Amino acid sequence: MSEEKTTQERLLEAGAELFSKKHYSETSTREIAEAADANVAAINYHFGSKENLYKEVIRKVIRDQKEKRKNLVDPLCSAEAPPLKELIANFIEGHFELKDSEEICAVDLPLVFREISSPGPGFEIIVEEMIRPNHDLLFKHIRREYPTISPERASMCIASLIGQIIHFIRARKVLESLFDREYDPEFASRISKHIVEFSIAGMEAAACEE
C-alpha cells in the first residue's frame, strides 16, 4: 500500500480486500490491522469498532459505485427521460464499458454478495443505499411504459435485468469457454444488446399477462 495513504484509508482498503474474501464474522481486527500496517488499536481509534469499520467499508463501496455509475443512473432521475428501451440500453451498455469492471468483480461484488447471502451489519445499508434506490428508479420508468404491469412483476423484471448484468460480467471466463472466444469489447457489446432485447421482451410479455 502507498505510504501516502493515511492510516484510516489503509484500514478501509485492507478491510475491503479481506471482507471480500471472508465473512465479517470470520475476519479478525488483527488481520485487518496487519494488512493495513497499523496497530489493532487504530481500528477503535478511527472507527470505534470492527463493526463500524465494516459499515464504513460498505458505504465506501456504495459511494464509489455510485460515482462510477453516475452517468448511467442520472438519466433515470430525469423528468424528461427518453423511451424505456433507450434508458435500459444506456444503463446496461454502460456497465460493460466500465474500465475497472475486473476490479469490481474482484472486491466490490464479492463483498456485497457475501453480505446479501449471509446478512451481517452491512445488510440494511446495502439494501437501502444501493439496491432500493436503483430499483425505485427503474420501477418508475417500467410502470410508466407499461401501466398494466403489476408492481410485483415490475420488480421481478428489475431483478432479472440486474441479475443478467451481474452474471455476464462476473462469468467472463465461463463465457469465454462456452462460446470459445475472447471476452472482448465486441462480444461485450453483443451481450449488452442481448440483455436489452431479452429484458424488454420479458417486460412486454409480463404487461400482456396482467
- Is residue 208's pLDDT more than 80? yes
According to CATH, the topology of domain 69-209 is Tetracycline Repressor; domain 2 (1.10.357)
Nearest to 111 by CA among 54, 157, 53, 40: 54
**pLDDT at position 103:** 62
Q: How far apart are CA 109 and CA 131, in angstroms?
A: 13
Architecture label for domain 1-60: Orthogonal Bundle (1.10)
Q: How far apart are CA 114 and CA 182, in angstroms?
A: 28
- DSSP letter at 24? G
Residue 40 cell numbers, joined: 489493532
Give the tens place of pLDDT for each residue, 80-92. 778 889 989 988 8
Q: How far apart are CA 141 and CA 78, in angstroms?
A: 10
Give the tens place of pLDDT for each residue, 48-59. 999 999 999 999
**pLDDT at position 210:** 61
Q: Map out the domains of the chain as residue ranges.
A: 1-60, 69-209
Nearest to 121 by CA among 6, 33, 27: 27
Residues 100/13/113/50 CA torsion (nearest 10 deg): -170
Q: How far apart are CA 44 and CA 175, in angstroms?
A: 44
**pLDDT at position 58:** 93
